[in-house]
Amino acid sequence: MPTHSETLIKYIADYAMVMSENNISSVLHEPYALTAEQKTYYRKNGFIRLKDVIPADVLDYYTPFIEAAVGVSGDDPLDEQLAKDAKDPTYSRAFKQVINIWAKPEHAKVKELAFSKRLARIAAELMGDDVTGVRMYHDQALFKWPGGGHTPYHADQFYWPLQSEKTVTAWMPLTAVPTEMGPLEFVAGSQNADLGRSVGIGIASDAAVSAAVKQGGYELITGPFEAGEVSFHSGWTFHKAPPNTTTDKTRKVLTVIYMDKDMKMAEPLNDNQRADANRYLTGVEVGKVCDGPLNPILWEKEEEKAIDTLV
């Protein structure tokens, strides 16, 4: 039988934990003040890196839950794709990838982070003033092991059966990513050009895009990520990442892919898009709004207006 003091101590500890979790939750939904210059930069270059988006201690809180989700999954489609296309074995061991963690009831904590209104609002505002909300396309944990090979040049939207280019991927490292761990690199302005849009990720995309970048004189933006820094890039922005050359550090990232809430499904153009339609656009028909059960609205401008009216 616990003493009165022990009961009180436990009560205080439990209360402190609840308060801490409530504070964490509030941070995830607070607006991030984008400047006009930042929006202009994104629309010109197809990407932007923003500092202090999610506090490091909040990422620390969610990291064990994401690690648990990655650890229990045996599904690794990206590894299979790279292994098929690559002679270099470092490709096939570059990643551990787990998708749609949020949709699994046992990973409700990861859902909290993936459903951050703070992140979703940034994505919507970067897309353009005519976008009044965004939906989930899918989330994705990407863990690049120590010694994991480089990520080839590619553009994400090659894989997506979507009718417009109003898409944004948030790339959120769970820790700082120094150069030796393979931070994401972007080809500035490539969202407006076909540098290899018909080629999936692999050796072929690396060769084709590298040549097009050099020929077109495009600038490759590189550099380490600080803890709490998040990048946002358009679906047709070409990007890559160096290898993780460390011997003892895993590059841990959670990404969330957003689409305009009014996005409609397009007729799939390749096997990858057909697979994506089956996995992530369940119940959605070609030409219809992507409002399936796996595509909830994560932020909507009208929702905030309603809250303001109530206040």
Rounded to an integer, the average pLDDT of 169-197 is 90
CB-CB contact of 146 with 247 (8 Å) = yes
Separation CA 71–CA 273 (nearest Å): 27
Instruction: Please report the pLDDT score of residue 152 as a whole number.
Output: 86
- Please determine, for residue 290, whether its predicted confidence score (pLDDT) is greater than 90: yes
pLDDT at 304: 59
**Model confidence, pTM:** 0.85
- The whole-angstrom separation of Cα 287 and Cα 263 is 9
Q: Alpha helices of the chain — where are they, by DSSP H?
A: 4-29, 36-45, 56-72, 77-85, 89-92, 108-114, 117-127, 203-216, 271-280, 301-310
d(CA 34, CA 38): 6
Sign of the C-alpha dihedral computed for residues 70, 74, 80 and 81 taken in this order: negative
Q: Please tell me the predicted confidence (pLDDT) of residue 19.
A: 41
pLDDT tens per residue across span 61-77? 999 999 999 984 444 44
**Which has more confidence, 26 or 251?**
251
With a cut of 80, say whether residue 228 has pLDDT above it.
yes
Is 14's pLDDT higher than 90? no
**Rounded mean pLDDT, 6-30:** 61
Whole-angstrom Cα distance, residue 160 to residue 41? 25
pLDDT value at 12 more than 60: no
Characterize the bridge pairing of strands 220-221 and 133-144: unpaired
Q: What is the pLDDT of residues 97-108, one digit of tens each?
A: 899 999 999 999
Q: What does the alpha-carbon distance between residue 268 and residue 264 come to, in Å, rounded to a whole number?
A: 12
pLDDT at 27 over 50: yes
Distance CA 280, CA 205 (A): 24
CA 231 remoteness from chain centre: 9
CA distance 240 to 196: 13
Confidence (pLDDT) at 305: 53
Q: Which domains does the chain have, with CATH numbers?
A: 32-310 (2.60.120.620)
Share of the chain above pLDDT 90, in %: 65
Give the mean pLDDT of the chain: 85
pLDDT per residue as tens digits for the range 189-223: 888 877 666 677 777 777 788 777 788 888 899 99
